[in-house]
Amino acid sequence: MVVVRDELYVAGRWRRPHGQDELLVHGAANGAVIGIIPDADAVDVDDAVEAAKQAFPAWSTTPLHERLELIRHLEEALTARIDELARTITTEVGTPVRVSRLLQAEAPCRSLAHYRALLPELSLEEKIGSSVVVREPLGVVACITAWNYPLQQLLGKIGAALATGCTTVVKPSEVAPLSAFTVAEAVDEAGFPAGVFNLVTGTAESVGEPLVVHPDVDMVHVTGSTRAGRRIGALAAGTIKRLALELGGKSANVILDDADLAQAVKVGVANCFTNSGQTCTAWTRMLVPHGRLAEVEELVKARVAGYRLGDPLDPATNMGPLVSQRQQEAVRGFIRGALDEGARLVAGGPEQPEETAAGYFVKPTVFSDVTPGMTIAQEEVFGPVLAIMPFDDDDDAIRIANSTIYGLAGGVWSQDTERAGRVARRIRAGQIDINGSFFNAQAPFGGFKQSGIGRELGIHGLLEFYELKSLQYA
């Protein structure tokens, strides 16, 4: 069945777009058309930004408890559609449905509850000498999301923006946009004031760039590739906007010589291959001591052999396809390039998996003897490809971990937690898991270096949406 969405959500109502073009949405498993959405234009962007601008004065001064109550209604409306959201995202992105319900649907909805719990604890005034320093809502926020975790990124942005009193214009990725329409329906059902949330779909050229350069947009909050972040940063400079950029990664999983090797490999492989490797925080570099390289390779091969590729809607599938033919071709290009550069293939390869004659599948692929200068050790592949890299000692491991332009995430393993902590503190990345700790949705999320600017989630994510004002009293 093809889902036809031929309207935008602007100023509290569904309306036909000014732009007359359409975009096709393709399913990841077989490339079939599963949806049709508007390819809006700059006029539609102007209308949405104007609606958000007009709504901002009243919304920013709405009592906090009223804003949070509406967010609670939004959370309830979305939670009632968990199964629908999970199935939609599985079809668009290829995440196995057994994973989608938790990671792609339930967890994003819980982020709204986190904001509701945290915001009342945040002090918005501070006395400094003769000044009172106040935090005020920033204004109109353009929320631009990627396709790999579409609901997580959308709710993470609008949840914080709306809770703090900002108004929003949302541009989802045209590759996986359908869940954003469900969010718009839930916003409407929850009863938010007109103009507080606006949805405009299209490409980077038709909608994304007009939003970024719009003079009445006060902040651009983006999840995307580092290349996209560079482009957005250059465009936003023309009007000196606030930027929050969550971009790419090439995260290192550092397994020290005293680590529980079996557990470190088990968790590390799962982390790398979640969502078929289409995760910005994926630990795509496994750093291991030279003396344990052969042992690690055997453990990794055994884990990889357990992956079952197939229809992501089949509960037995634990690795789905990539999101598109373009992504499949790009990942296969990285695999061929690694072979050309001399990396040793341990598992997988560039060929179509035998069990999937069609669809955008890539074999779970592992290389060893990867050196820091190789392309596969430097560039974000965004597919199920793991690079095993040997190191000499702790200092060498840290040097390798820090040898890319990225600094988003990573892991450190050691039975000596103090040693692991010392290593983790020297890795230039925004979040490091020690001995397989769980993701904390209330801690700040973001990157060092070219992995981004700013932080999402928790109190620190909320603070991104405020301006500071000093009031001096005589």
Active-site residue list: 246
Sheet holding 131-137, edge to edge: 125-128, 131-137, 466-472
Measured between alpha carbons, how far is 105 from 14 in angstroms, rounded to an integer? Answer: 24
Radius of gyration (C-alpha) of the chain in whole angstroms: 23
Residues 6+ apart with CB under 8 A from 326: none
CB-based burial label for 186 (10 Å; 0-12, 13-18, 19+): buried
Q: Are 244 and 164 in contact (CB under 8 A)?
A: no
Eight-class DSSP state of 319: B
Q: Are 239 and 213 in contact (CB under 8 A)?
A: yes
> What 3-state DSSP class applies to 321?
coil
Measured between alpha carbons, how far is 272 from 252 in angstroms, rounded to an integer? Answer: 10
In the chain, how many H helices and how many E strands? Answer: 16, 23
Q: Which of 206, 167, 160 is nearest to 50 (CA)?
A: 167
Instruction: Using the structure block, give the residue that is written with the tokens 């906090």.
Output: 64
Measured between alpha carbons, how far is 399 from 417 in angstroms, rounded to an integer? Answer: 20
**DSSP states of 172-203:** --TTS-HHHHHHHHHHHHHTPPTTSEEE----
Span between the terminal Cα atoms of the chain, in Å? 68
> What 3-state DSSP class applies to 370?
coil
Q: Which of 219, 158, 237 is nearest to 466 (CA)?
A: 219
| Share in percent of the chain as helix, strand, coil (round to 5) | 40, 20, 35
Measured between alpha carbons, how far is 245 from 363 in angstroms, rounded to an integer? Answer: 31
